[in-house]
């Protein structure tokens, strides 16, 4: 059960990843977490990554691939994993395929949660966050506070984070489309792509993904 999760920001990948982890007991491996922990532990790869980050540069694929490969060798990932945030492009996908081959494993499926850009912008740009406590989150349309612009829990002001501004979101979506669409074709051609409708609510998407993954697991066991 070697799975990767693909989808644009706002499609609900994080929610589905958490649920899948619980359903199937798979470790969730996210590039961001690995990067942070390896830098914090001062591993060789972590130190290399840090030099790039300190210089304000992107960490090269080979360093990220090295970290992921190392992580896939840990005991908890022996029976499978759920990879989030990697691969982001075809080069990384090739590298992942090679790394898995080296471990005598292969990818089971690439799970893609899709939604139209306008829907994603509507979801993300409507978010408002409390200035006092960033865990107090609202949505102007789906989960509005009782009084506009004011946190229900502590009366503090609600703001829109820079990350949630429409221009920023549109830019992220452009990057996503240009980098990830070739990846979607790549996994589609390999017969590994499974598509899910991210316009549906989280429970429905979850039910659909869980059924698909359960079927994949049965097939693996045959």
> Do residues 115 and 8 touch, judged by C-beta distance below 8 A?
yes
Decide if residue 136 touches Zn ion (CB under 5 A). Answer: yes
Decide if residue 153 touches Zn ion (CB under 5 A). Answer: yes
C-alpha triplet 57, 81, 5: angle, nearest 5°: 60
Name the active-site residue from 71, 127, 128, 194.
Answer: 127
Which region, judged by CB under 5 A, interacts with Zn ion, from 58-66, 125-133, 179-187, 193-201?
A: 125-133
Q: For the chain, state the CA radius of gyration.
A: 19
Q: Is there a catalytic annotation at residue 157?
A: no
Q: Is there a catalytic annotation at residue 172?
A: yes
Identify the residue among 77, 83, 96, 151 touching Zn ion (CB under 5 A).
151
**Residue 104, SS3?**
coil
154 vs 204, beta carbon nearer Zn ion: 154
Decide if residue 143 touches Zn ion (CB under 5 A). Answer: no
Decide if residue 207 touches Zn ion (CB under 5 A). Answer: no
Strand partners, 166: none
Q: 3-state SS string over 51-99? A: HHHHCCCCCCHHHHHHHHHHHHCCHHHCCCEEEECCCCCHHHHHHHHHH
Decide if residue 154 touches Zn ion (CB under 5 A). Answer: yes
Termini Cα distance of the chain: 13
Which region, judged by CB under 5 A, interacts with Zn ion, from 93-101, 134-142, 165-173, 194-202?
A: 134-142
Running DSSP on this structure, what letter comes out for residue 138?
A: E
Q: Is there a catalytic annotation at residue 127?
A: yes
Tokens describing residue 22: 């619980």
Name the active-site residue from 51, 132, 161, 171.
Answer: 161
Decide if residue 166 touches Zn ion (CB under 5 A). Answer: no
* Contact positions vs Zn ion (CB under 5 A): 130, 132-133, 136, 151, 153-154, 156
The catalytic residues are 13, 88, 127, 161, 172
């Amino acid at each position: 059960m070697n799975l990767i999760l693909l989808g644009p920001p706002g499609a609900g990948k994080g929610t589905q990843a958490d649920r899948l982890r619980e359903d199937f007991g798979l470790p969730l491996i996210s590039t961001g977490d690995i990067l942070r922990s390896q830098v914090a532990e001062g591993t060789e790869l972590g130190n290399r990554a840090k030099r790039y980050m300190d210089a304000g540069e992107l960490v090269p694929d080979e360093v990220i691939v090295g970290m992921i490969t190392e992580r896939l060798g840990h005991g908890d990932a022996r029976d499978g994993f759920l990879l989030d945030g990697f691969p982001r492009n075809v080069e990384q996908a090739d590298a992942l395929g090679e790394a898995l081959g080296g471990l005598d494993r292969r990818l089971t499926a690439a799970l893609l949660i899709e939604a139209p850009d306008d829907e994603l912008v509507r979801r993300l740009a409507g978010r408002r966050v409390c200035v006092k406590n960033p865990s107090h989150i609202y949505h102007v349309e789906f989960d509005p506070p009782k009084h506009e612009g004011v946190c229900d829990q502590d009366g503090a002001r609600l703001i829109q984070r820079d990350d949630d501004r429409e221009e920023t979101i549109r830019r992220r979506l452009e990057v996503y489309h240009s980098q990830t669409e070739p990846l979607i074709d790549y996994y589609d051609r390999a017969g590994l792509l499974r598509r899910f409708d991210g316009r549906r609510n989280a429970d429905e998407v979850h039910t659909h993904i869980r059924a698909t993954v359960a079927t994949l697991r049965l097939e693996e066991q045959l």
